[in-house]
A and B are shown apart, each in its own frame.
Chain A
């Protein structure tokens, strides 16, 4: 009845009629329809068993159905058909969003969505399905001015709401994926998917939204023309999943665009010469384009290989660092385990020689002193090995503090007296009064002094060992302290002097004492250097005794 009043054309094949305000309507609909269908089928055939490929085809089919329904609404004149397709359109729209959400999840996480998420998506969508055929969806039909428009109820608004929820959800998946994907390749892929899918959905909804608020539905049409681009973009992402690269994508797009543009010339060519010229250009572009794409592909593959190797190297480096840490821990523990029994041996020996466990005869004291000295020697060797390892690792840690060197030297002198006297050496001291404050690691400096005294005792068969500590000044008049050990021992020849401070460098006296690690002086030098000091040997030659001295800067008042 109304159809007659309004003088509407009767549509052929549901959609072709004169009831449209401009013929472009067909182009705006049919072009995206066929192009996206083609891409969807292509992606599906590329891997028909792939879940992502199948899902992509389903989204495309939903989209195409939506496009078809939209065209029908524009062009058809039958109220019942328009009402039916309009209401189905309102179901299809949120479904496209739900499908896109699922698609994004699968694409980024490479595994199926948890059941709970699927249920939430379904429950949100359920009202749209239930109320689709009620007045809440479409409440009437508008014949005013011969418009053929359905009057929408509240349900489509709910549809927009869940579309917004799905969209936010999608962005959370993106954010999460972006945070957890480490490689640059994956990050680029994630960004491109984000660009592709959001462009697709924005264009898809923009016309709808504008239409809803301004009542001008024509805008929706322009957006639709852009859709195939992003559908193609997404299709490309899926197909080139494994060797995806922006550069390759751009190259291929360029070559294809050139080929299509030149190919399109055929529709306008009227002169045969131009036909030949165009064909030559067309073939040239295709052949050269293929070469270009191939060379870009090779370059990218090489780059990817390099990146893969770099990642492997980084991985190996991390493992090495872990191993290095393990080594340090092992050394630390091993030295602890070696020290523990030595502490007990030394402890008992000293308890005996100090007379704490009762008096010993002179002979017994002598024997126990030997035990003590040997244990001390072994403890020193352990210390040396540990410290050399630390220096090699660049990890010798110093705890600098204002330290009185005189206290340290005093303690050591009284301690080492036992060792010297056990060898029947005369043990002399010349330690000046006053404080000798040095910014030093007390434990480390003590080790240096101990080492020097210990060396002198070891390499002196008879005579004396003298420990001394003086204040002095360097050439700039700065206050310095000078610690030294002089002895009447084997002495050092000129050639040996330099060698002594090398690792495992041994002097002439080494024959008479095999117990050292050969590391003591090397360590002493390293430690003194770290304190900004100097260690030197004075000896007039073999058999003439030696003096080892350490100079350190004093803290000025």
Chain B
């Protein structure tokens, strides 16, 4: 599942993941993301940080505290400060990526690694 408010990025990621054979669910803010996660229980979540309604950190917190779901979350943000990194990791993210460094295909590879337990 991709939780990201930028429609273009959503499109890019969707194209790349579908091409690689993934089924992609899309949500555009944290609040819708959380209810959708509960309903559909995806295998992995790509999560943006700065989003309307509920940001990425609040999403992680809500998922951790209010559900028993244990799905790996990859935080994909364009914030590179240390605070974002530590906050995301301590909130339970398995990986924190800088979006601008990853093309769609590289992201697909990264997700593949994580799902196969190669790179955590």
Contacts and interface: CB of A to CB of B under 8 A. Distances in A.
Contacts of A383: 80
Contacts of B81: 332, 397
B15 interface: yes
A336 to B, nearest CB: 5
B6 to A, nearest CB: 7
Interface stretch (A223-231, A280-288, A347-355): A347-355
A210 interface: no
A347 B82 contact: no
Nearest to A329: B81
B100 A399 contact: no
Given A354-B104, A354-B105, A340 B15 contact: no
Given A340-B78, A347-B8, A356 B105 contact: yes
- The bracket for how many chain A residues form the interface is 20 to 34
A344 B6 contact: yes
A386 interface: yes
Contact of A356 (B16, B77, B78): B16
B85 interface: yes
A397 B16 contact: no
B19 A411 contact: no
Contacts of A351: 12, 15-16, 103-104
A220 to B, nearest CB: 68
Contacts of A335: 78, 80
A370 interface: no
Contacts of A356: 15-16, 19, 104-105
B119 A354 contact: no
Interface string B35-63: 00000000000000010000000000000
A431 B31 CA distance: 45
Contact of B80 (A344, A348, A357, A386): A386
A340 B98 CA distance: 10
B100 A342 contact: yes
B79 interface: yes
Contacts of A399: 82, 85-86
A354 B8 CA distance: 17
Contacts of A336: 50, 77-79
Given A356-B16, A399-B85, A407-B119, A443 B98 contact: yes
Contacts of B79: 332, 336
A473 B42 CA distance: 47
B69 interface: no
B115 interface: no
Nearest to B119: A407
Nearest to B76: A343
A336 B100 CA distance: 10
B106 interface: yes
Contact of A357 (B6, B15, B85): B15
Nearest to B18: A356
28 contacts: A332-B81, A335-B78, A340-B99, A343-B9, A343-B78, A343-B99, A344-B6, A346-B103, A347-B13, A347-B103, A347-B104, A348-B12, A350-B103, A350-B105, A351-B12, A351-B16, A351-B104, A354-B16, A354-B103, A354-B104, A379-B101, A382-B100, A386-B80, A397-B81, A397-B82, A399-B82, A415-B103, A446-B101
Given A340-B6, A347-B13, 13 more contacts: A336-B79, A339-B78, A340-B78, A343-B6, A344-B12, A347-B12, A347-B103, A350-B103, A351-B103, A382-B100, A386-B80, A397-B81, A411-B106
Interface of B: 6, 8-9, 12-13, 15-16, 19, 50, 77-82, 85-86, 98-101, 103-106, 119
The 7 closest A-B pairs by CB, nearest first: A350-B103, A397-B82, A347-B12, A339-B78, A339-B100, A344-B8, A343-B99
